[in-house]
Amino acid sequence: DPTRTEFEGKPLLGAYAVDDQGVPAQRITLVEKGVLKTLLMSRRPHKKIAHSNGHARTGRQGTPRAYFSNLFVRADDGKSFDELKAELLELCKEQELEHGLLITKNSGSPKLPIMVYKIFVKDGKQELVRGLTIDDIPVQTLKDIVAAGSDSFLSEGLLDGIAVSVVSTSVLFEELELKK
């Protein structure tokens, strides 16, 4: 929703009224109940979508293309933090793992978590882990989302030179690749 200018009183970096091709910005629903409903569109035609919906953005590449601005992700049946944590421990038990990883704070970049804990299945004890980054997240990794939270948090920055804001819930992945 590029037309939304704030979230919980904070201005959104990705807000704009008119896209980079002069088309008025529009709020759209991309996915509803797990089903893809539409696409972000610029003036470049698509066989199933005839018109732009005001999402042409120009970044480092210099040519306007369909790109998100303010992305809002929410779950209809979101769980509390404690429920997600319990589900993480149960998932670890099922996979016979000693511990899982719990990321509680992000740097603002989805690749740079700053508060990561090992959470041990045996006793629930948490141990701080330093120096991890999240590897690139391929789209197929999204199928590994086991549960989502009822919370919302804001992350902003530049992606490919384009200002974006993401308001998202906590998520529990069955598997996610991290590196030191």
Residue 37 tokens read as 């409903």
Contact 125/118 with Cβ under 8 angstroms?
no
Segments of 51-98 assigned E as strands: 56-57, 65-66, 70-72
**In sequence order, which residues have a C-beta less than 8 Å from that of residue 99 and are 6 or more positions away?**
92, 118, 119, 120, 121
Q: Is the pTM of this model over 0.85?
A: no
Radius of gyration of the chain (CA): 18
Rounded-to-integer distance, Cα 54 and Cα 67, Å: 10
Count the neighbouring beta carbons within 10 Å of the beta carbon of residue 169: 18
Q: Residue 1 pLDDT > 90, yes or no?
A: yes
* Residue pLDDT, tens place only, 28-50: 999 998 899 999 999 998 888 88
Do residues 100 and 121 lie in contact, with contact meaning Cβ atoms separated by under 8 Å? yes
Inform me whether the pLDDT recorded for 110 exceeds 70.
no
Provide the pLDDT confidence category of residue 20 given band limits of 50, 70 and 90: very high
Q: Does residue 59 contact residue 161 with C-beta atoms inside 8 Å?
A: yes
Rounded to whole angstroms, the Cα distance separating 92 from 102 reads: 12
